[in-house]
Chain A
Amino acid sequence: MSIHTIGVIIKDWLIGLLAGWGVPVELSRLLIEVLTWAVGAALCIIAIMLAALVFIYLERKVSGYIQSRLGPTRCGPVGILQSFVDVIKLLLKEDIVPAEADRVLHTIGPILFLAVSALAYVVVPWDEGGTVAGKVDAGVGVLFMAAVGSMGLIGIVVGGWGSNNKWSLLGAIRGAAQMVSYEIPMLLALMCVVLQAETLSLAGIVEDQKGSIIAWNFLRPWMWLPVVLFLISGVAEINRTPFDIPEAESELVSGFHTEYTGMKFALFFLAEYGNLLLVALIFSVLFLGGWLSPFGYPDPLRLPGIIWLLAKSLLIVLIVMWVRWTLPRLRVDQLMGLAWKLMIPAGFVALGVMCAVIMLGWA
């Protein structure tokens, strides 16, 4: 049973309920529509929170495994409650704003960062017909995602600037430069998939890959370059090692969030893990068939599509974590060089190849 069917069932039930109370059908339909938006918006935030809760624990355990140590063990069985303890700790911390900081900007920085991250979730196709903003996605899903993604750095910039700290400012500048640069190869990789699927809709891209694992984009040879480009620029967009220069701990102390504690810091943290999940989700949608089962469509195992989507995303998240705990950090100029001298030309090559493939009719 897909999310879409469940939604329809709940809607019909509510309309029946309201009709029983004497509410006009027209009004109840409208109320339910508004309610759906609200629930959808809440789901986006909840997805980020769940992602953060799971990934904080996962990251600690994975890094512990990689670094031959245990990771959290004390809170709950095998430390499973560690994330909750972290959240409580952050909630209880005093909120400190530096004396010379811009109080308003300092506050809205993390909020903007999280809001933008949550906004991108509205076009994620969780399941067949399971997109929060299906209408937006049907028209311009990929473009909307990219557009919203490009605003993510505003939160970083505002937070870094509002802290009135030179390290934070350097971090913010680095973050802005990095995210602007890596957006280009990311978009080029996205364009290849869009050309392949002939639609801007993320749900449509999944539909295009319908079938078993053989039909997925990552098995098409002309998609290999976009796969690599998207993964690298995705990691760069979410500021994780080896591209974590905006918050490089050993250089910039912590970059744009040096001056943040408590819940404001937690908002940055939430958004970072939310972005991690988002990149993994989008990668799964673009190249790994989204909510499709690897055994064919319809799924012979009859599992909800969201499970397949999350399983694929988890795989990507684990790869990203593995990379993080293995590689050193690039320097800022090398990072820019990689983007502008290597990845953007490679992106154009990938796009050219994709066009050639379409012209030759292989796609």
Chain B
Amino acid sequence: MLFGLPYTNYVEYLAFLSVAGLTLLGGLGTIVARRVFPACLWLLVCLGGVAGLYALLAGHLLMAVQILVYAGAITVLIIFAVMLLQRHTGRIIMAENQHLIGGVLAAGFMATLILVGIFTTRYQPLAFGDTPATFAGDNVKLIGHLLLTKYLLPFEVVSVVLLASMIGALVLARQEPGENPGAAEAPEAESQP
């Protein structure tokens, strides 16, 4: 006990503050960074910080999914797009805050939602490091069960959205048969030094 609080609380606060600070830093870096590639990496820091927050809340599944989907897949996709665009063309893409008003509005809306969520939820106090008793130590099973029973329809609708976007990507990227980019642009290429 130190100043009337258990020692574990201090560790917990310390851990929370550092992870939350990291998340904020990442978010700030993302919007402040001048060039797109470092902005992507800051985004990665931010998303990693969110995963850390989930871990502190003992939401291990959420943490793993956060890393897998956001840090591992989405950021990589963004980086991939930036990389392909930028180095091939030789231009450095600058992160210009063109949509400032829209961005502020969207951020304000999100912030309101989150704040409302924070202040209207009733919390169960838990000891540091404990898993909520209702999850019985295995929230994976619970989430899986809910996804396949109560939330089956939304779950399937989301997968339809993914399918649609996949087909859309295929349509955009598809080459017509016989349209070989190498052969088609060959005459142009010869005039290059």
Contact = CB atoms under 8 A, between A and B. Distances in A.
Contact of B61 (A24, A143, A150, A151): A143
Interface stretch (A68-76, A91-99, A134-142): A134-142
A114 interface: no
Nearest to B79: A157
A215 interface: no
| Interface-centre pick from B37, B44, B60 (highest chain A CB count, 10 A) | B60
Interface stretch (A165-173, A217-225, A265-273, A288-296): A165-173
B80 A173 contact: yes
A24 B138 CA distance: 33
B38 A105 contact: yes
Given A105-B37, A105-B38, A176-B80, A148 B61 contact: no
Contact of A140 (B64, B73, B83): B64
Interface of A: 24, 26-27, 30, 34, 102, 104-105, 108, 135-136, 138-140, 143-144, 146-148, 150-151, 153-154, 157-158, 161, 166, 169, 172-173, 176, 180, 200
Given A143-B61, A147-B65, A180-B76, A169 B7 contact: no
A341 to B, nearest CB: 15
B138 A153 contact: no
A27 B64 contact: no
A151 B71 contact: yes
Q: Is the interface of B mostly helix, strand, loop or mixed?
A: helix
| Interface-centre pick from B1, B38, B67 (highest chain A CB count, 10 A) | B67
A146 B87 contact: no
A135 B137 CA distance: 9
Nearest to A165: B87
Nearest to A162: B37
Contacts of B72: 147, 150-151
Nearest to A148: B67
Contacts of A173: 80, 83-84
A30 B7 CA distance: 7
27 contacts: A24-B1, A26-B1, A26-B7, A27-B7, A30-B11, A102-B37, A105-B37, A136-B60, A138-B137, A139-B138, A143-B68, A144-B60, A144-B64, A146-B64, A147-B68, A150-B67, A150-B76, A153-B76, A154-B71, A157-B76, A161-B37, A161-B83, A166-B87, A169-B83, A169-B87, A173-B80, A176-B76
B31 to A, nearest CB: 18
